[in-house]
Amino acid sequence: MNSKYSKLATKIKAEAKRLGFFACGAARAEKVDKDTARRVRTWIEKGGNAEMGYMANHTDKRLDPGLLVPGTKTILSLAMNYAPAEHIPPEGYQIAAYAYGRDYHEVMKEKLRELLQRLNEADALPPLPADGNAEIRTFVDTAPVLERYWAWRCGLGWVGKNHQLIIPHAGSMFFLGEIFLPFELDAYDEPMRNHCGNCQRCIDACPTAALGEDKEFDSAKCLSYQLIENRGELSDEAKRTMGNCIYGCDRCQQACPWNRFAIPSDNPDFMPRRELLSMTKEEWNNLTIEEYRRLFKGSAVKRAKYEGLKRNIEAAGTPPTGDKG
């Protein structure tokens, strides 16, 4: 590599830190390992993606980043902390902490683009290959990219039994994004060893048994899937176990001992609006579509749509008819 770019990996990480990213790592863009490819294909074949049909699309590109973006040589994985400093009061209806503030897709995309802009302004990045067939691309949870796999390959952390990326001494409350680069770096990071050990607190805390030590994640059973992605009637199990949850579920993260190290984010984009924190159950029960649009403008909660959120609120306000065990 040209001596001008001999410290490129270090420069990228330093600039990422200045922009507010908690962690940044790099890996060579290669096909995913055979065991991961086999698990992904088997999970899809068994319907583990439930009604999320998009997760079964472009499997070849998920397993080979060179097919998604031809010419990619390096993948950067970046993590941004969203651990909340304030929570919705426990007696109120609950939404997952990741959706407290602005939609993370937009925040992360802006930050990834700003990182590239700063590196370009500093003339820190090598020129694109002369053949014109390569490009730099950014992704945030909207393309066929195995985000947690690449975060692991880039040395950010490991994928825990709750199927979340866990960063040591920081926890799992992080948004992930990737930058695909058409050139190699001077240094790459090593995957991290799994540190879950014999702990299975997340498995025990999962209200619908969607997690298991020796089984793949069952999307259809997951309470978060039921309350966000499911467009039909909630499952009986979801109704029975949702409690005050009306959007998503953080129970596996709340149970994870690594999250005791989480430092609350100071990013204003991820902080909840005062109105959201003060919402009473009566106000939720009477939520109009106009209020919904105003309260969740630019929010990830819109993923569930107004009808889905009202369905969840109604179910949360209806006492269970009995425990089906």
* pLDDT for res 325: 38
Same domain, 63 and 162: yes
Is 141 catalytic? The answer is: yes
* pLDDT for res 320: 66
Is residue 189's pLDDT more than 70? yes
% of the chain surpassing 90 pLDDT: 88
Does residue 193 lie within any of the structural domains? no
Same domain, 62 and 171: yes
Same domain, 16 and 124: yes
Same domain, 225 and 114: no
Same domain, 131 and 245: no
Q: 226-245: per-residue pLDDT in tens?
A: 999 999 999 999 999 999 99
Distance between alpha carbon 174 and the CA centroid of its chain, in Å? 7
Please give the sequence-ordered ranges of beta strands (E in DSSP) within the chain, or none if there are none.
Answer: 23-28, 74-81, 94-95, 137-139, 158-159, 165-166, 174-181, 245-247
Same domain, 40 and 146: yes
Same domain, 67 and 206: no
Does residue 195 lie within any of the structural domains? no
* pLDDT for res 258: 97
Is residue 215's pLDDT more than 70? no
Averaged pLDDT for residues 291-303: 96
Same domain, 105 and 52: yes
The total number of structural domains in the chain stands at: 2
Same domain, 241 and 170: no
Is residue 281's pLDDT more than 50? yes
Same domain, 230 and 172: no
Averaged pLDDT for residues 4-20: 91
Domain that holds residue 12: 3-90+97-181
Q: Which of 64, 141, 266, 323 is catalytic?
A: 141
Q: 191-205: per-residue pLDDT in tens?
A: 999 999 999 999 999
Same domain, 217 and 125: no
Does residue 31 lie within any of the structural domains? yes
Q: 60-113: per-residue pLDDT in tens?
A: 999 999 999 999 999 999 999 999 999 999 999 999 999 999 999 999 999 999
Q: 264-279: per-residue pLDDT in tens?
A: 999 999 999 999 999 9
Name, in order, each residue with C-beta under 8 angstroms of 225's C-beta and a sequence gap of 6 or more: 50, 52, 210, 219
Averaged pLDDT for residues 131-148: 92
Does residue 189 lie within any of the structural domains? no
* pLDDT for res 18: 97
Same domain, 129 and 276: no
CA distances in angstroms from 115 to 76, 99, 138, 173, listed in the order given: 12, 24, 11, 21
